[in-house]
Each structure stands twice: as C-alpha cells, then as structure tokens.
Amino acid sequence: MTGQLKPYEALAAVYDAWTAENKYGAWADFIHEQLRSAFGGEPARVLDVCCGTGALTRRLQERGHRVTGVDASEQMLEQARANTAEGTEFISAVLPDAELPRGFHAAICTFDSANYMSGPDDLSLFLTSVGKALEPSGVFLFDLNTRHKLETVFGSSHYGDDCGDYAYVWRNRYDPGTRCVDFLITLFLRHQGVFTRHEERHRQRWFSHEEIRAAAARAGFEVSLVVDDYGDVPAHEESLRETWVLVKSGTS
C-alpha cells in the first residue's frame, strides 16, 4: 500500500473509465451554445479550469474553440495531454488563488470542481482569480454539487465496486457544521497482474445561492443563468447539480 496520496494522484490512471457515463457531450453542447450566444457564433478562447483529463477540453476543441487547460494534478494533466489536440497548452496551478493567464473570452469549471473550494474564503478567491483571467464581458460557466446532493445523496455513506482492472471503496463523512463532505477513496489498481492499494482524501462543500451571488458580485460578475444540470430547467430544491453562468463586468 502507498501512503495517502493527493487528490487524483492515483485516480487519474482510471478516471476516464470511472467517469465514462458522464454526459460530456451534452455538457459540451450546452457550453458551446452559451459561447455562441455570448460571442456571436465566433470561436472563443476558453480557459478550462480544473480540466482533469481533458474530456471537455477536447470536445470544445472539436466545436472550434481554442482551449487552454489548468489543473493542480500533474497526473491528470498527463492524461489530458494524451487526450487532446497536439500542442494544447496546459498549466499546472493550485486554486483558489493561483495567478491564471489572462486574455480569455470565457472560462469553464465543470464536474463539481468548484465544490473543492472548501475554505471560508475560497469561493471568493476562486471567482476573483478566474475573473482576472477574463476579458471584459467574459463568460464564466461552472457547476456545483448542491446541498441536497451533499447532505442526502453522499451524506455519511459508503459504497464500492470491482471494475476489473481496478476496484474501489468510497466512504463519505458529512459535517453539517462545515457543510463539507470528506471522501476517503481507497483504490486497488492492477499492474502486471498484481493489485496495489492507494488512498486519497477529497473534500467538497456546498454553497447557498446567496453566498454564490455575493462572491460573484465581489469578483465583478453578474449572474446570467442558474439551471439544473446543463439543461433548460431552472435549478430547484431537488437539483443534484446546478450550472451557473456568470458575465464579467464590461468596464473592468
């Protein structure tokens, strides 16, 4: 067994198989339509924040956009380089307050990566950092796991599966005081017929709409849209994932 690893240090190797049922195509279509609407159909220069293995980076490239990826995990970036167009720029950066490259028309942060901003001021720092990367009137699209999901779906539960070349045990512990769920993920990865055991700890926090709107305003954004999971229905109490679209002030 290895010691406890950083998030995605071991998970990166099986992440694409793990998330194969994600509706990346539908997410990319939603993002593409938002960008078409915002920029008159012209291709946008997009910053994919917490890009992971580049699943959406590649799909937005296929739709004509110029995409730069950012992630804190070198292991995930290694996978992303193999999954995307040759020459795609990737940057290693630790959020919430990393200094990101500037001059982008839009930024995205998908698959509940923003929930990892779990410290008291992390959400404001995160939105401010992304805002600085955008041109005036730039668009920031991100999604969040909701309170309903963190409290009632994840909660304090555990589950696992044997997926052939890897297996996992996933244990959740929810703390209502911090509004955070701690995920302890134990992975068993097959290499040359032998399984090795790895542990990673992840933490996510839920945010109220009031918190998000206030943090967005402080970072110079206006809220344009809040919908249920990349769809056309407004977010509601039973939503598991919310998709937010922010627009940066056109004068800053």
pLDDT in tens, 20-58: 999 999 999 999 999 999 999 999 999 999 999 999 999
CB 81 within 8 A of CB 57: no
pTM (predicted TM-score): 0.96
Taking only Cα atoms into account, the Rg of the chain, rounded to an integer number of angstroms, comes to 18
Quickly list H helices, the chain: 15-18, 24-39, 55-62, 74-83, 122-133, 147-148, 209-218
For the chain, the maximum distance between any two Cα atoms, rounded to a whole number of angstroms, is: 59
State the pLDDT confidence band at 4, using cuts at 50, 70 and 90. confident
* Domains delineated in the chain: 8-146+207-248 (3.40.50.150), 149-204 (2.20.25.110)
Instruction: State how far Cα 214 lies from the chain centre.
Output: 20
Q: What is the pLDDT of residue 111?
A: 97
Closest to 51 in 3D by CA, of 70, 68, 32: 70
Instruction: State how far Cα 240 lies from the chain centre.
Output: 15
pLDDT tens digit string along 56-92? 999 999 999 999 999 999 999 999 999 999 999 999 9
Closest to 96 in 3D by CA, of 116, 82, 76: 116
